[in-house]
């Protein structure tokens, strides 16, 4: 269960995670394959493109992964996704959460703005391994950028915090992203971009998928309090 941590997981997403675990034994992740800026960088990036930030409603796409569901659906860098399944998007965090509710093979209807014109397309979400593969060197580079090392949480920690899984930050390097964000050693990472983190493999795959995009971390501080951090690793 996620008792006490409902603030972090919308009810529909929590239900989907539980259903996945019961039916498949693991969380099923549908991947669209787009990159987008963190909120703190969005205005700057839009101005670089001569776009008035106040005129943008939706998520500005800064990159498309080769072979991804997004590329197959015809999305391009510079598109602004305004709706998913006819539901308006107001933030990149909402966008991440709506994608996280879906499974590989699910179809999503996307309304996007390109060159001032509205367009619609259907994307069929892929499994992560269908879109990309991650080598050890790339994963180590992400860890180095974060300035952090991770270990799986113990069964005792799972029981204490009513979690199915999670990863604990075992080491922080001075000057890394985690150090600058003030994330201390001993922090438990439970979710990244709405995806349940059950082990180190989950955190590696999710972080690699989220490169150049907003990364939202939800978890538990060493004192037991709930925490949330948003940042972008950048290019």
pLDDT band at residue 7 under the 50/70/90 scheme: very low
pLDDT tens for 204-230 read: 877 776 665 667 788 899 998 888 887
| DSSP code, position 3 | T
pLDDT band at residue 111 under the 50/70/90 scheme: very high
Count of domains observed in the chain: 2
Residue 16 lies in a domain: no
pLDDT tens for 66-80 read: 888 999 999 998 899
β-strand pairing of 34-35 with 117-124: unpaired
pLDDT tens for 119-177 read: 999 999 988 654 444 556 677 778 888 899 999 999 898 888 877 778 999 999 998 88
Same structural domain, 223 and 193: yes
Same structural domain, 120 and 47: yes
Residue 212 lies in a domain: yes
Find residue 152's DSSP bridge partners.
167
Tokens of 20: 């996945």
Residue 205 lies in a domain: yes
CATH of the domain at 184: 2.30.42.10
Tokens of 117: 């014109």
Residue 69 lies in a domain: yes
Instruction: State if pTM tops 0.75.
Output: no
Instruction: Write out the residue range of the structural domain in which residue 202 sits.
Output: 132-232
Round to whole Å and give the CA distance between 14 and 22.
12
Round to whole Å and give the CA distance between 59 and 90.
8
Cα 41 off chain centre by: 16
Residue 12 lies in a domain: no
């Amino acid at each position: 269960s996620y008792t006490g941590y409902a603030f972090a997981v919308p009810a529909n997403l929590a239900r989907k995670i539980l259903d996945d675990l019961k039916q498949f034994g693991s969380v099923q992740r549908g991947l669209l394959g787009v990159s987008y800026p963190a909120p703190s960088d969005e205005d700057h990036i839009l101005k670089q493109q001569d776009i008035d930030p106040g005129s943008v409603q939706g998520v500005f796409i800064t990159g498309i992964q080769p072979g991804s569901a997004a590329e197959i659906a015809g999305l391009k860098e510079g598109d602004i996704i305004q709706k998913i399944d006819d539901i308006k998007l107001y933030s990149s965090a909402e966008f991440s959460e709506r994608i996280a509710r879906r499974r590989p093979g699910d179809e999503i209807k996307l309304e996007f703005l390109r060159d001032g014109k509205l367009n619609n397309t259907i994307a069929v979400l892929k499994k992560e391994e269908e879109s990309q593969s991650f080598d050890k060197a790339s994963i180590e580079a992400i860890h180095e950028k974060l300035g952090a090392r991770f270990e799986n949480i113990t069964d005792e920690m799972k029981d204490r915090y009513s979690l199915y899984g999670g990863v604990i930050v075992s080491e922080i390097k001075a000057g890394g992203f985690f150090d600058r964000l003030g994330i201390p050693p001993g922090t438990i990472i439970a979710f990244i971009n709405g995806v349940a983190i059950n082990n180190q493999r989950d955190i590696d795959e999710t972080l690699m998928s989220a490169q150049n995009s907003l990364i939202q971390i939800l978890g538990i501080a060493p004192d037991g309090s709930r925490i949330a951090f948003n940042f972008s690793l950048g290019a």
